[in-house]
Amino acid sequence: MSRASDRAYDGIREMIISGELAAGAPLGEEALAERCGVSRTPVREALRRLESEMLVRRTESQRSFVADWSLDDIEDVFELRAMLEGHAARRAAERMDPESLKRLRDCNRAISEAISGQKADVDTFLDRNLEFHALILQVSASPRLTTLLGSLIEQPVVWRTAHHYGREELRRSHSEHDELLAAFARHDGPWAEAIMIGHIRRAFHAYSDAHKGLGAIDVPASKAQRNG
């Protein structure tokens, strides 16, 4: 793939993941090319890649749109995440070293600070939460797991779910991370796996509960600029 194609892919994917491009939104090649600073050919290549990741759907008339998933589709994603991340947590617990454990604790401390203010900093929560799960994958030392989970962890529904969390849901997520840290400190793979599976399943039910009222999410200007 060309550098221009990679730039278009990264830019469009970020706009979809963040919610800047809402589910069902049309994806015009000319407009996207202008936004990404490339020609239409790299955009066309990027859209094909995103279609293979199920982030974009193409109609019979060859028009492209941001994919709009059903609740059943979304449950499939969370079930796959639970299985794969559960296995990653087991492997990570068995391979955990003091430095990696410290990095995970520091990350979860940053999550605690983000959700403890008068108004929760959900963007920081999302960034540090992604870092926490990425660190677990790193310690699990399985390139195949990393590849398989790459397209699942950053789905738009994950971003939207967190933006529908209340204070209690954010605290519960942080608390479950604390339980994972306890399992990691004891190198207890089965315990870590069980916690991670429950952690992902609870996230799905949080999404499911909010599903009927889930509309387009306004993206703060700072975030839109960061993702543009």
* Distance between CA atoms of residues 1 and 10, nearest Å: 12
User: How confident is the model over 77-91, as a mean pLDDT?
Assistant: 94
* pLDDT value for 205: 84
* pLDDT value for 158: 60
All CATH 1.10.10.10 domain ranges in the chain, comma separated: 3-68
DSSP string across the chain: --HHHHHHHHHHHHHHHHTSS-TT-B--HHHHHHHHTS-HHHHHHHHHHHHHTTSEEE-TT--EEE----HHHHHHHHHHHHHHHHHHHHHHHHH--HHHHHHHHHHHHHHHHHHSSSS--HHHHHHHHHHHHHHHHHHHT-HHHHHHHHHHHT-HHHHHHHHT--HHHHHHHHHHHHHHHHHHHTT-HHHHHHHHHHHHHHHHHHHHHHGGG--PPPPPHHHHHHH-
**Thinking of the domain 71-213, which architecture would CATH place it in?**
Up-down Bundle (1.20)
Residue 57 has pLDDT above 80, yes or no: yes
* pLDDT value for 6: 93
Return mean pLDDT, the chain. 85
* pLDDT value for 148: 85
- Specify the higher pLDDT residue, 50 or 222: 50
* pLDDT value for 59: 92
Residue 128 has pLDDT above 80, yes or no: yes
Query: By the 8 A CB rule, do 84 and 195 touch?
Result: no
- Specify the higher pLDDT residue, 217 or 34: 34
Instruction: For residue 83, count CB atoms less than 10 angstroms from its CB and return exposed for 0-12, middle for 13-18, buried for 19 or more.
Output: middle
All CATH 1.20.120.530 domain ranges in the chain, comma separated: 71-213
- pLDDT, tens only, 28-44: 999 999 999 999 999 99
| pLDDT bracket for residue 16 (50, 70, 90) | confident
For β-strands 56-58 and 64-66, DSSP reports them as: antiparallel
Instruction: For residue 161, count CB atoms less than 10 angstroms from its CB and return exposed for 0-12, middle for 13-18, buried for 19 or more.
Output: buried
Q: Reply yes or no on domain 3-68 having CATH 3.30.479.10.
A: no
User: How confident is the model over 116-123, as a mean pLDDT?
Assistant: 88
Q: Which two tokens stand for residue 150?
A: 């790459």
Find which of 9-23, 89-103, 125-139 is predicted with most confidence, using mean pLDDT. Answer: 89-103
* pLDDT value for 184: 98
